């Protein structure tokens, strides 16, 4: 029986595109999700921090700009006033604006648009790898890449399409660079720079492509391409000489200049992240980045090779799992070095190094699977090589390679499509449950414009944050203000201390959860006695645990019994009205039945 790569070698592009289409179809019915609702509000004309062509602005670090959104309840009360989460992605914003103009709020059409971008990305990867790999390995690599489970987020989540929009032109630019270098094709240099520039307009994740570019040029400059690696290094004792370094830096200079200008613009224009626990800015917080990078890197390894998405892994020790996988990969690559042709091995080596380097930009965002599009290219090549050589090694007495190949084949070809289907279904189900939850709020349509809604407990953190946007998208009546005492699943003790005042105590401190820390990181703890003024509502933090609020005092503008106040809690599958207790009394609101994390 021929290896699977050889069976597919005569139609690698067709195989990859077909696989991408089959898994992409799972995303079509899942609807919108989280940030998508903010973007829909922006397009509908409602005030949001960003704009139609600046959708990825969630705060510019200006407290005066953020205050109205805190006062209305579109951001949690504990949000850092100086929070900055602002990404430069005008091209991605433009594709999303086009969706809204063409399709209104038909989510399936939006997802189909993303699937087309994914197929374009598969085509770009094929154009790149066909220059580097033999036919059987090319086909298998493209198949593994198309089925990569980490791609289901940028394909199925409208707000994460930017990873695809950035990747497609950048990969075409890398292809043009390789043709310029290997065939002396003069248009290759300007076309490569054009591709990188368009990619940078799509999103900052495109910085990963420069990892492959640097690894490729290092391979050219420091290796003797006529001899097997690493003998090529030993045969050239002058590989650290100035000519070698010049031959490395010279072809990188145009792309390096473009990258430098982009980073300078990014900084001068004010883009970036600060005050959020969900992201680390390596330029502003280099020590924090270096501390978190190993954990995020090994977590990314676990995501790519073991299908363990950081968003879904829960309490699993991703870094430890990833470190063990990384060591196993080094052992497998050492075994493969003895079996693979020297020229092919040199290609594999720079692709592997490029994949590792391309992961660096992703490490500023917790190593999330949605940021690993560029590393997944090299990972797919390595996994395909393991599968191919493990198949060839069967019956040779070796057990390690065949066992590793079988595991890779099972995970990344057999099980991967089922993971796409399960995750897409789960996302759609969570979206449906969230919409049903926010629509269950007992809010009278006639009274809604005057109502101040106070949500005491939540079914799920995502609904806690995006509930107002989801209810608006569902067309349900909206209150004048929407204040959440907590956004996570928590137990709350609500005690009335006066006619317009109350206290709320939390079993789990606010900001203990990683999702809550997106709005305020641990480097900006609360002080006991600190006041958060929200216009009609003032919150005083009266007890903390390690700077995280454990008990707060709430001062309302009016008597708590005012009919324009509506207090609700999450109960048995719906929000329920809560009558404020009498002065001096308290009620304990136990956590209601939460949504299943992933059905």
Given the DSSP bridges, would you call strands 537-545 and 531-533 parallel, antiparallel or unpaired? Answer: antiparallel
Nearest to 332 by CA among 372, 386, 262, 388: 386
The percent of residues in the chain predicted with pLDDT above 90, rounded, is 72
Q: How many CA atoms lie within 13 A of 583 on its CB side?
A: 8
Cα 57 from Cα 59, distance rounded (Å): 6
DSSP-assigned letters across all residues of 270-306: T-EEES-TT---TTT-HHHHHHHHHHHHHHHHHHHHH
Q: Domain tally for the chain?
A: 2
**Residue 550: domain span:** 440-589
Cα 190 from Cα 209, distance rounded (Å): 16
335 in the same domain as 192:
yes
Q: What are φ and ψ of residue 45, in 5° steps?
A: 100, -5
203 in the same domain as 106:
yes
143 in the same domain as 21:
yes
Spatial contact of 171 and 209, defined as CB atoms under 8 Å apart: yes
497 in the same domain as 378:
no
319 in the same domain as 210:
yes
- Say what the pLDDT of residue 595 is: 63
Nearest to 340 by CA among 137, 487, 103, 506: 137
Local confidence band at 514 (pLDDT 50, 70, 90 cut-offs) = confident
312 in the same domain as 196:
yes
Q: Is residue 74 part of a domain?
A: no
Local confidence band at 291 (pLDDT 50, 70, 90 cut-offs) = confident
Task: Name residue, tokens 């897409």.
Answer: 424
pLDDT, tens digit, 9 for 90 and up, residues 194-226: 999 999 999 999 999 999 999 999 888 776 544
Last residue in a domain, options 383, 398, 427 = 427
- Say what the pLDDT of residue 238 is: 46
Q: What is the pTM of this model?
A: 0.92
What residues have CB less than 8 Å from 414, skipping those under 6 apart? Answer: none
Residue 499 burial class via C-beta count within 10 angstroms: exposed 0-12, middle 13-18, buried 19 and up: middle
363 in the same domain as 493:
no
355 in the same domain as 458:
no
458 in the same domain as 420:
no
Nearest to 165 by CA among 16, 373, 310: 373
- Say what the pLDDT of residue 371 is: 83
DSSP-assigned letters across all residues of 13-32: HHHHHHHHHHHHGGGTTS--
pLDDT at 158 over 80: yes
pLDDT, tens digit, 9 for 90 and up, residues 367-401: 567 789 999 999 999 999 999 999 988 877 678 89
Cα 46 from Cα 415, distance rounded (Å): 42
252 in the same domain as 200:
yes
Cβ atoms < 10 Å from Cβ of 280 = 24
Q: Is residue 8 part of a domain?
A: no
Q: Does the bond joining 561 to the residue before it have cis omega, within 30 degrees of 0?
A: no
DSSP-assigned letters across all residues of 385-435: HHHHHHHHTTTTT--HHHHHHHHHHIIIIIIHHHHHHHHHHHHHHHHHHHH
Buried residues in 230-260 as b, exposed as e (16+ CB within 10 A):
eebeeeeeebeeeebeeebeebbeebeebbe
458 in the same domain as 386:
no
Cα 166 from Cα 92, distance rounded (Å): 8
- Say what the pLDDT of residue 279 is: 79
| pLDDT, mean of residues 260-289 | 86
507 in the same domain as 485:
yes
> Which residues are registered as beta bridge partners of 577?
568
Given the DSSP bridges, would you call strands 481-484 and 452-455 parallel, antiparallel or unpaired? Answer: parallel
Residue of higher predicted confidence among 4 and 113 = 113
Mean pLDDT, the chain, whole residue set:
89
Local confidence band at 312 (pLDDT 50, 70, 90 cut-offs) = low
DSSP state letter for 51? B
Q: Three-state SS across 244-257?
A: HHHHHHHHHHHHHH
């Amino acid at each position: 029986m021929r290896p699977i790569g050889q069976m597919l070698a005569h139609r690698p592009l067709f195989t990859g595109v077909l696989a991408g289409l089959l898994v992409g179809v799972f995303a079509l019915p899942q609807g919108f999700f989280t940030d998508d609702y903010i973007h829909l509000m922006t397009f509908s004309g409602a005030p949001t921090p960003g704009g139609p062509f600046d959708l990825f602005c969630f705060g510019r670090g200006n407290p005066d700009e953020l205050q109205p959104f805190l006062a209305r309840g579109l951001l949690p009360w504990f949000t850092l006033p100086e929070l900055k989460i602002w990404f430069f992605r005008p091209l991605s914003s433009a594709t999303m604006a086009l969706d809204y103009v063409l399709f209104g709020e038909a989510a399936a059409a939006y997802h189909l648009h993303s699937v087309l971008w994914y197929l374009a990305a598969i085509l770009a990867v094929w154009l790149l790898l066909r220059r580097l790999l033999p036919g059987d390995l090319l086909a298998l690599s493209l198949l593994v890449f198309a089925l990569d489970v980490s791609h289901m987020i940028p394909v199925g989540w409208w707000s994460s399409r930017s990873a695809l929009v950035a990747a497609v032109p950048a990969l075409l630019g890398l292809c043009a660079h390789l043709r310029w270098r290997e065939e002396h094709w003069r248009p290759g240099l300007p076309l490569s720079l054009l591709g990188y520039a368009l990619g940078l307009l799509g999103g900052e994740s495109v910085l990963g492509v420069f990892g492959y570019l640097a690894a490729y040029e290092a391979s050219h400059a420091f290796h003797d391409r006529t001899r097997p690696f690493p003998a090529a290094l030993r045969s050239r004792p002058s590989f650290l000489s100035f000519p070698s370094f010049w031959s490395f830096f010279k072809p990188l200079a145009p792309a390096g200049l473009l990258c430098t200008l982009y980073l300078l613009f990014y900084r001068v224009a004010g883009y970036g992240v600060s005050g959020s626990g969900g992201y680390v800015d390596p330029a502003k917080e280099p020590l924090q980045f270096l501390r978190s990078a190993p954990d995020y890197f090994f977590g990314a390894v676990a995501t790519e090779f073991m299908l363990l998405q950081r968003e879904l892994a829960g309490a699993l020790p991703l870094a430890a799992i990833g470190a063990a996988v990384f060591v196993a990969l080094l052992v497998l690559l050492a075994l493969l070095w003895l079996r693979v042709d020297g020229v092919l091995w040199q290609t594999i080596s720079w692709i592997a190094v490029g994949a590792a380097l391309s992961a660096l930009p992703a490490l500023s965002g917790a190593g999330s699977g949605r940021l690993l599009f560029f590393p997944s290219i090299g990972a797919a090549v390595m996994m395909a090589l393991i599968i191919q050589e493990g198949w060839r090694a069967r019956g040779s007495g070796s057990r390690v390679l065949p066992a590793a190949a079988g595991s890779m084949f099972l995970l990344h070809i057999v099980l991967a499509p089922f993971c796409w289907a399960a995750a897409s279904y789960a996302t759609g189900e969570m979206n449906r449950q969230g919409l049903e939850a926010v629509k269950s709020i007992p809010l009278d349509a006639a009274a809604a414009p005057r109502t101040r809604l106070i949500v005491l407990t939540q079914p799920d953190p995502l609904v806690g944050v995006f509930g107002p946007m989801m209810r608006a998208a569902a067309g349900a009546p909206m209150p004048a203000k929407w204040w959440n005492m907590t956004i996570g699943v928590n137990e709350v003790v609500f005690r009335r201390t006066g006619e317009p005042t109350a206290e709320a105590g939390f079993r789990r401190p606010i900001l203990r959860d990683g999702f809550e820390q997106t709005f305020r990181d641990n480097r900006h703890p609360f002080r006991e006695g600190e006041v958060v003024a929200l216009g009609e509502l003032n919150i005083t933090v009266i007890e903390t645990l390690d700077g995280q609020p454990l008990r707060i005092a709430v001062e309302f503008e009016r008597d708590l019994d005012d009919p324009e106040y509506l207090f609700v809690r999450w109960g048995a599958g719906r929000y329920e009205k809560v009558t404020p207790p009498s002065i001096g009394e308290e009620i304990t609101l136990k956590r209601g039945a939460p949504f299943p994390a992933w059905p």
